[in-house]
């Protein structure tokens, strides 16, 4: 049932060509007993233009993992820091976030951070991954390298024992390199922007936030606990991200929308996912 919601493609991006059935369920099983999770998000389209897609999904999944006993940390770059802090604050979560300062050697920085924090799991939600040519591209095919640090180096430099998860909606995100064959067949536009950075588990959704919510619902089923946030918290997170400087990734307007879909569409998706979550008997609370 979660797959049916994640495969909904209101933006017409053609995700059916690279959708991964069961992706959220497999990611949840991999994360169920995670010890130390490092999550990253943030997709900036220009100076002062971080997207509203990504931070809410990251905050929701981070809260769920912390409720299940994981040590959860977040990392992003300066541009995406305020929206992520805003989303975490709405959910009452700690807002301490690491910032990635690559300097001249992203791989070296990544190895240092991995050694220092020793994550057992890495998760990226709507975070650009480099193309075969080494650039970072928006869905319009425009370079966004200048405004997005090379955080994908964490995934490229991670030891094999680290479990990696990538969530995306366009093929240009961290993790989507695992779907290279599918992306090559998904049309010229997606081939051009496709990321080559793989992840062990890949979740594709019509909106990346929804992919993260799908993992949370699957975690709720595995743990027999209600973990997904409410529709009202969804509204508050998106509004808080906008107040912190985020914009809609498609319209590029500073409005409480995500991927050109109105706020109530996202609140409605959360309600539908909560129906799935609540159909599984559980007890307890995450608060």
pLDDT in tens, 126-182: 999 999 999 999 999 999 999 999 999 999 999 999 999 999 999 999 999 999 999
CA nearest 100: which of 170, 159, 157, 164?
157
Per-residue confidence band for 11, with pLDDT thresholds at 50, 70 and 90? confident
Structural domain contains residue 287: no
Q: Does residue 216 register a pLDDT over 70?
A: yes
8 Å CB contact between 92 and 120: no
Structural domain contains residue 60: yes
Percent of the chain with pLDDT over 70: 98
| DSSP run (H or E) holding 99 | strand 98-99
Rg (CA), the chain: 17
Structural domain contains residue 285: no
Q: Does residue 285 register a pLDDT over 70?
A: no
Using N-to-C axis directions, what is the helix angle for 231-243 and 55-67, rounded to 10°? 130
CATH number of residue 217's parent domain: 3.90.1640.20
Structural domain contains residue 224: yes
Structural domain contains residue 173: yes
**Count of beta carbons in the 10 Å neighbourhood of residue 81:** 21
Q: Does residue 245 register a pLDDT over 70?
A: yes
- Bridge-based pairing of strands 98-99 and 121-125 is unpaired
Residue 269's pLDDT is 98
Cα–Cα dist 147/64, whole Å: 29
Structural domain contains residue 286: no
Q: Does residue 13 register a pLDDT over 90?
A: no
Average pLDDT, the chain: 95
Percent helix, strand, coil in the chain (nearest 5)?
45, 15, 40
In the chain, the number of structural domains is 1
Q: Which domain holds residue 234?
A: 2-278
| For range 244-249, the mean pLDDT | 98
Per-residue confidence band for 284, with pLDDT thresholds at 50, 70 and 90? very low
Residue 29's pLDDT is 98
Distances (CA, A) of 153 to 30, 134, 190, 199: 21, 12, 22, 12
Dihedrals φ, ψ of 258, to 5°? Answer: -135, 125
| For range 255-270, the mean pLDDT | 98
Q: Does residue 223 register a pLDDT over 80?
A: yes
Q: Does residue 282 register a pLDDT over 90?
A: no
* pTM score of the predicted model: 0.96
Distances (CA, A) of 241 to 59, 88, 211, 246: 11, 10, 18, 5
Residue 103's pLDDT is 73
Structural domain contains residue 155: yes
Structural domain contains residue 284: no
Lowest mean pLDDT among 57-66, 104-113, 163-172, 277-286: 277-286
Residue 281's pLDDT is 63
């Amino acid at each position: 049932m979660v797959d049916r919601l994640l495969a909904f493609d209101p933006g017409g991006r053609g995700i059916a060509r690279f959708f991964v059935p069961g992706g959220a369920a497999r990611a949840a099983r991999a994360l169920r007993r995670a010890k130390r999770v490092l999550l990253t998000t943030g997709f900036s389209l220009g100076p002062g233009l971080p997207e509203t897609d990504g931070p809410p999904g990251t905050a929701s999944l981070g809260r769920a993992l912390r409720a299940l006993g994981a040590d959860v940390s977040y990392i992003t770059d300066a541009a995406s820091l305020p929206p992520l802090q805003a989303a975490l604050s709405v959910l009452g979560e700690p807002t301490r976030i690491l910032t990635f300062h690559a300097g001249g050697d992203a791989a070296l920085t990544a190895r240092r951070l991995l050694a220092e924090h020793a994550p057992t799991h890495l998760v990226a939600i709507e975070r650009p991954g480099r193309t075969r040519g080494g650039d970072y591209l928006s869905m319009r095919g425009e370079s966004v390298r200048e405004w997005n640090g090379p955080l994908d180096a964490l995934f490229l430099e991670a030891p094999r024992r680290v479990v990696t998860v990538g969530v995306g909606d366009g093929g240009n995100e961290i993790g989507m390199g695992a779907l290279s064959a599918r992306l090559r067949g998904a049309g010229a536009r997606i081939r051009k922007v496709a990321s080559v950075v793989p992840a062990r588990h890949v979740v594709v959704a019509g909106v990346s936030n929804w992919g993260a919510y799908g993992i949370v619902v699957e975690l709720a089923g595995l743990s027999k606990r209600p973990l997904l946030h409410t529709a009202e918290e969804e509204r508050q997170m998106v509004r808080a991200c906008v107040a912190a400087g985020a914009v809609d990734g498609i319209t590029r307007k500073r409005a409480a929308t995500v991927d050109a879909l109105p706020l109530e569409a996202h609140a409605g998706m959360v309600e539908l996912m909560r129906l799935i979550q609540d159909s599984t008997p559980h007890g307890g609370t995450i608060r």
